[in-house]
Amino acid sequence: MKSWQLCKVILLYTTATAIACAVAIGQQPGGMNGAQAPQGQQPAPGQQPTSPAMPDAGMPGTQNNANQPSMVDQSFVRKTMEDNVAQVQMGQMAQQKSTSDDVKQFGAKMADIHSQLTDQLKPIAKELGVSEPKGPSKKDKEEIARMQTMSGPDFDAEFIRAMMKYQQTDLKGFEDEAQTAQDPNVMQVAKMDEPVLSQHLQLLEQMAQAHNVTVESKK
């Protein structure tokens, strides 16, 4: 074969090989068909992006504690329901033992309001895992027993002092829970009943003046 014909064959073979290589490279990963999507472009359907910021749901330490009840909310509900029992009993006692109309009326109001508050808290207490109190606290039982031995103005004065302490303590607790409660139902109750407790405290201050009862102001 002549030399120029041989050169022509070699040139055609080389060109064909180059074209075949270019096509093969374009179909391999890393070519245009397998190239990484530009930044901001969504991955193709079926592809799951990986990120170190997404913890494995099965890894320890990733459990969500959002459903755990707040111990502060539980304590608030437990104490409020316990105080309610005592105030209902004291209110009923005032209706029986007091000789003053305003004290009797206030006692009836206390018995009614705190019974309603207990009913309001019962379903919330159940959700929070708080058991209903079986009675007043030990300290409140002692106070109730002491009031049972009194009558007339002495009873009125002791009743006003006791109820004043309750309202001051409860109002502070309701104000705090209205701002910091984790459970939305507890927060709603605290916000709704806070103004009622404030009104009761104002009535007690007026009664204290009317009956010449000195009450220590609780800051």
Q: Are 128 and 183 in contact (CB under 8 A)?
A: yes
In 10 A of CB 83, how many CB atoms? Answer: 22
Question: How far is the C-alpha of 64 from the C-alpha of 79, rounded, in Å?
Answer: 28
What pLDDT does residue 69 have?
84
Phi-psi map region of 43: left, alpha, beta (phi>0 left; psi -120 to 50 alpha): beta
Q: What is residue 117's three-state secondary structure?
A: helix
For the packed helices 101-128 and 184-210, what is the interaxial angle rounded to 10 degrees? 160
pLDDT at 73 over 90: yes
Structural domain boundaries in the chain:
1-30, 71-210
Identify the band that residue 71 occupies on the pLDDT scale cut at 50, 70 and 90. Answer: very high
**Neighbour-count burial of 41, counting CB atoms closer than 10 A to its CB (0-12 exposed, 13-18 middle, 19+ buried):** exposed
For range 75-99, the mean pLDDT: 96
Q: Which CATH class is domain 71-210?
A: mainly alpha
Give the tokens for residue 151: 């009558």
| pLDDT of res. 52 | 38
Question: Considering only CA atoms, which of 200, 201, 206, 203 is closest in space to residue 218?
Answer: 201
User: Per-residue pLDDT for 47 more than 90?
Assistant: no
pTM, two decimal places: 0.67
- Strand, coil or helix: what is 172? helix
68-to-176, 183, 187 alpha-carbon distances in Å: 20, 10, 16
Cβ neighbours of residue 174 under 8 Å, at least 6 residues apart? 190, 193, 194, 197
